[in-house]
Structure 1
Amino acid sequence: MSHAAPRTTHAAPTPHVTHAHVQHDGDAEAEVLDLDAAVLAEHIASITGSLPFARAPRHIVDLGCGTGTGTFALLVRFPGAEVTAVDTSADHLARLRAKAEANGVADRVRTVRADLDGEWPDLGTPQLVWASASMHHMADPDRALRKVHDLLAPGGLFAVVELSGFPRFLPEDAPRERPGLEERCHAASERHHDELVPHRGADWGPMLTGAGFTVEEERTITVHLDRSHSDAVGRYALHSLRRMRPTVEQELPAEDLAVFDALLDTGGPHSILDRDDLAVRTERSVWTARRGD
């Protein structure tokens, strides 16, 4: 396997776009994305493994690729394919390229920096387009769906994967000092994100049909992994909740914030890293849709 550096294409990002997916906060977001990939690797593999193909795709586009969770799962699932990985973040794409080189698949990856709310770059004619936790960030999802439809080869497949919400980590009656704290944090965070990302939680089936696709399958995958599943569960919880804190600090009472901060204090006696009752609980919805012609 060649170890050549992945190819990179730059399409100038549109500076005025302000929706959440463009506003990356560097290493913190990248760390969460990498931990998500590590903890949920089996579930991601189950999704890619169920994609219906009579003949394996040779060219795949990963829209909103982040640090490469989908890209690398798809490279494993389809060993004869090349992936064009698209994201707005130069940092995420650099991290993805470094992983591709380390894993010996650099010759199968092309990275493209682009803001898909603006002009779309030339992404070729893929047989598969993959969009995981990215479509709801589009300013005009209907436009983006039509773009994907036109992009795909005839008979090509579009896979949309969306989160049902932010993962839960603590038992409902935890922590002892403020039972139900995590649910109150989620409620506050969801109110915040509903304003910024109004398409989160959308039913993509009717929108896919409206864009000309034939929806072949819709399913929901339930995830419940306790700490014994992976050493990364604690770090995944820590970094995820750290990213949540700025969105809830104006809504939670001081008593909740004090206990929340104690969980995030890795040097303190109540650090979330030291809890043995953690689990990752979430759901992911998957739509697979076919272009006709």
Structure 2
Amino acid sequence: MAHNHMIEMLDLDAEVLHDYHSEVIAWVGREAAGQPRIADLGAGSGTGSLALARELPGARVTALDVDPEMLAHLRARAEAEGLGDRIGTVEADLDQPWPGLGPIDVVWAASSMHHMADPARALASAFGVLQPGGLLVVAELDSFPRFLTGTPDEPVEDAGHVAMDKRRHEAGLHMHENWGALISRAGFAEVTERHFDIALPAPLPPTGARYAQVTLSRMRHGLEDRLPAAELATLDRIVTGLPGRTDLSVRTERTVWLARR
């Protein structure tokens, strides 16, 4: 069930934050080769691969992920959208030596670099697979989505984020790296950084409320062993009551770096 919720959350993120994702891909489309061969690192449920293939008609995408269930979901969606001939999948642990990918024009890493055991090594590998003049795209979260800003439940959500940030730090996730500096050290040039401050006001459409419910439910389960029973019960009450609320909004910040090999 938790795995299904992760897939649903990633799919909803792409749907609810459609304008952000479209703007980033349009930017990539202006900078990339006319019919780019793209490697999607840590492709997850495939939202990036699908959007790239959908919005860049000449693109061919190789989606790499360590999770076969995620890749199966991606393949099914690609076939359903008529994109199966332009999206291939490769099961790969990107903390190990990378599989042969052939010539690549764009390396796309959306919210995946912070999961790498050694991001500097991963960026060096990305440099190695790119054609001269090829494009690296790194998108990372500056803040995870918040849905209860300005509501009586905002302090509960804030406390949950503090606890989750601590958990991610203890797990060794690279959430606060200086990505621009790491990209430059890997040999890339023309590093451009854009910050996106995303704010979707209340009321959210039903998909936005479901996005909030799945995201906060994952937070609650992630904090199962870290919060007192009373605080977990409060989170349960909030999650259960999210459908139908008209005071939910979305607040999140993301930064994207584009660089040339």
TM normalised by structure 1 equals: 0.84
* Contact kept in structure 2, 1:57 and 1:81, CA below 8 Å: yes
Q: Name 1:108's counterpart in structure 2.
A: 86
Task: After TM superposition, give the deviation of residue 227 of structure 1 in Å.
Answer: 4.5
3-state SS in 2 of match to 1:289:
strand
Q: Name 2:235's counterpart in structure 1.
A: 260
* Structure 1 CA distance for aligned equivalents of residues 6 and 204 of structure 2: 23
Q: Name 2:259's counterpart in structure 1.
A: 289
* Contact kept in structure 1, 2:136 and 2:260, CA below 8 Å: yes
Residue range with higher mean Cα deviation, 166-175 or 274-283: 166-175
Task: After TM superposition, give the deviation of residue 245 of structure 1 in Å.
Answer: 1.1
Q: Name 2:183's counterpart in structure 1.
A: 208
* Structure 2 CA distance for aligned equivalents of residues 58 and 35 of structure 1: 26
3-state SS in 1 of match to 2:120:
helix
Which has the larger share of helix? 2
Q: Name 1:41's counterpart in structure 2.
A: 18
Q: Name 1:230's counterpart in structure 2.
A: 205
Counterpart code for 2:121: R
* Structure 2 CA distance for aligned equivalents of residues 216 and 199 of structure 1: 20
Task: After TM superposition, give the deviation of residue 279 of structure 1 in Å.
Answer: 0.8
Larger Rg: 1
Question: Structure 1 residues 61, 191: CA separation in 2 closer, same or farther (over 3 Å shift)?
Answer: same
Runs of 4+ in 1 over 3 A off after TM superposition: 227-230, 249-255
Q: Residues 13-92 of structure 1: matches in 2 within 5 Å?
A: 25-51=2-28, 52-53=30-31, 55-92=33-70
Equivalent residue pairs, number: 260
Q: Name 1:15's counterpart in structure 2.
A: none
* Contact kept in structure 2, 1:205 and 1:215, CA below 8 Å: no
Task: After TM superposition, give the deviation of residue 255 of structure 1 in Å.
Answer: 3.5
* Structure 1 CA distance for aligned equivalents of residues 190 and 15 of structure 2: 29
> Once the two structures are superposed, what CA deviation does each residue of 1:17-58 show, in whole Å capped at 9, x if it has no partner?
xxxxxxx94212111111111111111000111124264243
TM normalised by structure 2 equals: 0.94
In the alignment, structure 1 segments of 5+ residues that lack a partner are 1-23, 266-270
* Structure 2 CA distance for aligned equivalents of residues 172 and 224 of structure 1: 13
3-state SS in 2 of match to 1:60:
strand
Question: Structure 1 residues 213, 45: CA separation in 2 closer, same or farther (over 3 Å shift)?
Answer: same
Q: Residues 141-220 of structure 1: matches in 2 within 5 Å?
A: 141-175=119-153, 180-220=155-195
Q: Name 1:97's counterpart in structure 2.
A: 75
* Structure 1 CA distance for aligned equivalents of residues 130 and 2 of structure 2: 32
Which has the larger share of strand? 2
Counterpart code for 2:12: L
* Structure 2 CA distance for aligned equivalents of residues 53 and 66 of structure 1: 24
Task: After TM superposition, give the deviation of residue 254 of structure 1 in Å.
Answer: 3.8
* RMSD between superposed Cα atoms in Å: 1.7
> Once the two structures are superposed, what CA deviation does each residue of 1:223-279 show, in whole Å capped at 9, x if it has no partner?
1113545321111011111111133234434433222111222xxxxx111211001
* Structure 2 CA distance for aligned equivalents of residues 54 and 212 of structure 1: 18
